[in-house]
Homo-oligomer: A and B are copies of this chain.
Amino acid sequence: MTIPARPPQLYDYDTDGTSIYQKSFGMIRAEADLSHFTEAQATVAVRMIHAAGDPSLAEQIAFSPGLVDAARTALRGGAPIYTDATMIAAGITRRRLPADNDVICALQDPRVPEIAQAWQTTRSAAAVSLWDRLEGAVVAVGNAPTALFQLLEIVAAGGPRPAAVLGIPVGFVGSPESKVALAQNPYGLEWLVVHGRRGGSALASSAINALSREQEI
């Protein structure tokens, strides 16, 4: 192919992707208070802070002690990853996954509207009922508190148990409460949360990307 000519560079900016990552991660480690994390947890937190563009996020990130090991073991073993939003699935870097893991968002499944109607709940929550390989899976909720509550209710009712649950829904209604419910879950689930209202697909996929591979970049 014929490569078009690059227009003159008018602005002074870094164009080396690896260098940008390294500088960014260095700035985050210099600015964020990571003292309440283990080293492995800090690696996950740094990537989430990078996705948020805000070192203060560190204060809201919390892990169960076994989360990192449980998620990494599950991913290496080929566990599927379930998400509540297509954006999270789009943000997961496939080449970082250790076992070419399936990444599944059931929101577009044609059965979802009917289940949502029957259960009198959101489509996001209804989609959780279609996570049919949930036992031992890794779950990343980055959008809907209702999906996170629904998951907890499925587990509470004796349903399948995921190996690790990232509870990072964003929002003003139900979101903070859903994360507290996950972090205080009496079912023995391993968890990661971003307490409060902040969260979202970018944070959820960056957490998965960090857990997928031990090397930071």
Contacts and interface: CB of A to CB of B under 8 A. Distances in A.
Interface stretch (A34-42, A49-57, A61-69, A70-78): A49-57
A53 B205 contact: no
Which of A11, A24, A27 has the most B CB atoms < 10 Å from its CB?
A11
A23 B197 CA distance: 14
Nearest to A146: B15
Interface residues of A, number: 66
A201 B91 contact: yes
A196 B53 CA distance: 8
A165 to B, nearest CB: 15
A14 B27 CA distance: 39
Interface in A88-144: 89-91, 111, 114-115, 118-123, 125, 129
Nearest to A176: B53
A10 B156 contact: yes
A145 interface: yes
Contact of A4 (B16, B24, B89, B129): B129
A192 interface: no
Nearest to A1: B111
Contact of A13 (B149, B154, B205): B149
Given A87-B87, A129-B4, A173-B23, A9 B197 contact: no
Given A1-B114, A87-B87, A157-B7, A52 B170 contact: yes
A122 B15 contact: yes
25 contacts: A3-B119, A4-B115, A6-B129, A7-B157, A7-B159, A10-B153, A11-B178, A13-B149, A13-B174, A20-B122, A20-B146, A20-B174, A23-B172, A24-B173, A51-B200, A53-B175, A53-B196, A53-B197, A53-B198, A54-B198, A87-B87, A87-B205, A91-B201, A170-B202, A201-B201
Given A3-B118, A13-B145, 20 more contacts: A7-B157, A7-B159, A10-B152, A10-B153, A10-B156, A14-B146, A15-B120, A17-B122, A20-B171, A23-B172, A23-B173, A24-B171, A53-B170, A53-B172, A53-B197, A54-B197, A54-B198, A87-B201, A200-B200, A201-B202
